[in-house]
Amino acid sequence: MQTILVTGGTGYIGSHTVVALLESGYKVVILDNLCNSSAKVVDRILKIAHPNAQLTFIEGDIRDTNKLDQLFKDHLFEGVIHFAGLKAVGQSVTHPITYYDNNVYGSLCLIQAMNTAKVKTIVFSSSATVYGEDAPVPYEESMPRGNTTNPYGTSKAMIEKILADQCIADNQWSVAQLRYFNPIGAHKSGLIGEDPKGIPNNLLPYITQVAIGKRKELSVFGVDYPTPDGTGIRDYIHVVDLAKGHLKALKKIQPTHNNPQEHRQGSGEHIWNLGTGQGYSVLEVICAFEKACGVIIPYATEPRRKGDLAAFWANANKARAELNWQAPLTLEHMVTDAWHWQQSNPQGYN
Ligand code: NAD
Ligand code: UDP
């Protein structure tokens, strides 16, 4: 049984990925400082996976180098899936040092501890934002990292570059840079889902909070984009499909002990888009939610949100070809599962 370290594993995407790992027979150790998640997630994960699933939760920060070194001494990890990071774009503009410290310095601490322990396999949570503001759509992995427009995006591009350079320096490193598009939805059990603190920044959590009566109406940011209905277009992906992509990527890049040749194939830097390849506008998402969930979402149109791009979506061919991974769950599944999670947990994990 292989053991995987999952940083940020009590968070939104991390928790769904931990379920997928446990269901596939991995042992999992979560390291999370709970700055944006709840320890209650751990019991929920076990409820879904199996009460006796091999899961250890350690509360701690990836910048705590002593803790990290001890962790790598205590466990024989076959690889790391690295979710831990701060993700609020707007906050990163007002608090850049906090973002670079947490995301970039934190990742460096992790990479250093991995190097010392000779654990050289990592799946990293990157983002479509690294393509920058001028990239043509759909985004393809062969495009260069572009002009990021905020410290959050820059921190992701920096971490990607650090990992890429490490692969050049040491050919035993295997790195999957997974560029997520817009993860939404929740596990179908309604036990785990997205639980934003305060006012949600993202579209779907805002919609579900309006639907449940926590917020009066949705603001639609920008109705004058050069898109068919004037609202922004994104590639929404079900978080459960996204989680499964991590397993496929991990398996692809993992060294096999008894086959060094295969190891060489998996080593190096690999970039994969994790999206569906299909874009939907804000109004289409509202419509899909109203239709699938039977709740009307009152909304007001507002000016464009600063820093938002008009439209982007993935070319998802590379992940399909190389990982044999696709995202079959539809927008209807995504909104239905998000609504089920919200209704089952009106106050999130509290
Ligand atoms: P999340 O906030 O729910 O999860 C991140 C987790 O990391 C949280 O549980 C938080 O407590 C933990 N964490 C943060 N800093 C830490 C630190 N220094 N030490 C230990 N734990 C720490 O976010 P998420 O949506 O699950 O995102 C996971 C990763 O995916 C992040 O790196 C994020 O930037 C990236 N990502 C997310 C999206 C998205 O739309 N959700 C899109 C692209 C990329
Ligand atoms: N959006 C919106 N109202 C909101 C939140 C988001 O109209 O309250 C729009 C936003 O302008 C973008 C789309 O919804 O066009 C997705 O935004 P989100 O913040 O979820 O993702 P990101 O901007 O990171 O792609």
Lining residues, ligand 2, CB within 6 Å: 182, 201-203, 206, 218-222, 232, 234, 282, 305, 308
Q: Are strands 77-82 and 3-7 parallel, antiparallel or unpaired?
A: parallel
Four-CA torsion 8, 11, 14, 17, nearest 10 degrees? 150
Ligand 1, atom 35: closest residue by C-alpha:
125
pLDDT for 125-160, tens place per residue? 999 999 999 999 999 999 999 999 999 999 999 999
pLDDT for 68-94, tens place per residue? 999 999 999 999 999 999 999 999 999
* Ligand 2: centre distance to CA 200 (Å): 10
Find the mean pLDDT for residues 103-120. 98
Pocket test for ligand 2, best of 234, 235, 299, 304 (most atoms within 8 A of CB): 234
- Which atom of ligand 2 is nearest to 89's Cα? 24
For residues 52 and 26, the model is more confident at: 26
Four-CA torsion 90, 93, 99, 103, nearest 10 degrees? 70
- Which atom of ligand 1 is nearest to 202's Cα? 40
Backbone angles phi, psi at 72, to 5 degrees: -75, -20
pLDDT at 10 exceeding the cut of 70:
yes
Ligand 2, atom 4: closest residue by C-alpha:
203
How high is the pLDDT of residue 266? Answer: 81
Q: Are strands 174-180 and 121-127 parallel, antiparallel or unpaired?
A: parallel
Cα(68)–Cα(124) distance, rounded to whole angstroms?
17
Sequence-separated contacts (24+) of 201-207 with Cβ below 8 Å? 201/88, 201/89, 201/90, 203/234, 203/282, 203/285, 204/236, 204/285, 204/289, 204/334, 204/335, 204/338, 205/338, 207/285, 207/286, 207/289, 207/297, 207/335, 207/338
Four-CA torsion 242, 247, 249, 252, nearest 10 degrees? -160
Q: What is the DSSP letter of 77?
A: E
Among residues 152, 180, 206, 225, which one is catalytic? 152
How high is the pLDDT of residue 175? Answer: 98
Find the mean pLDDT for residues 302-315. 96
* Ligand 2: centre distance to CA 234 (Å): 8
* Ligand 1: centre distance to CA 260 (Å): 33
Domains of the chain: 3-184+237-276+314-325 (3.40.50.720)
Q: Give the position of tokens 């209905």.
A: 229
Is 152 noted as a catalytic residue in this protein? yes
- pTM for the whole thing? 0.98
pLDDT for 245-260, tens place per residue? 999 999 999 977 556 5
* Ligand 2: centre distance to CA 311 (Å): 11
DSSP string, 280-349: EEHHHHHHHHHHHH-----EEEEPPPTT--SB--B--HHHHHHH-------HHHHHHHHHHHHHH-TTTT
- Model confidence at 51, pLDDT cuts 50, 70, 90, reads confident
Ligand nearest to the CA of 150: 2
User: Pick from 348, 350, 340: which is nearest to 12 by CA?
Assistant: 348
How high is the pLDDT of residue 258? Answer: 55
Pocket test for ligand 1, best of 10, 34, 36, 124 (most atoms within 8 A of CB): 36
- Model confidence at 229, pLDDT cuts 50, 70, 90, reads very high
Pocket test for ligand 2, best of 92, 215, 229, 282 (most atoms within 8 A of CB): 282
DSSP string, 109-178: HHHHHHHHHT--EEEEEEEGGGG-TTPPSSB-TTSPP----SHHHHHHHHHHHHHHHHHHH-TT-EEEEE
| Residues 47 and 64: beta-carbon distance below 8 Å | no
Q: Are strands 236-238 and 77-82 parallel, antiparallel or unpaired?
A: unpaired
pLDDT at 261 exceeding the cut of 80:
no
How high is the pLDDT of residue 257? Answer: 58
Find the mean pLDDT for residues 270-292. 98
Helix axes 40-49, 12-23, angle to 10 degrees: 30
For 270, the 3-state DSSP assignment is strand
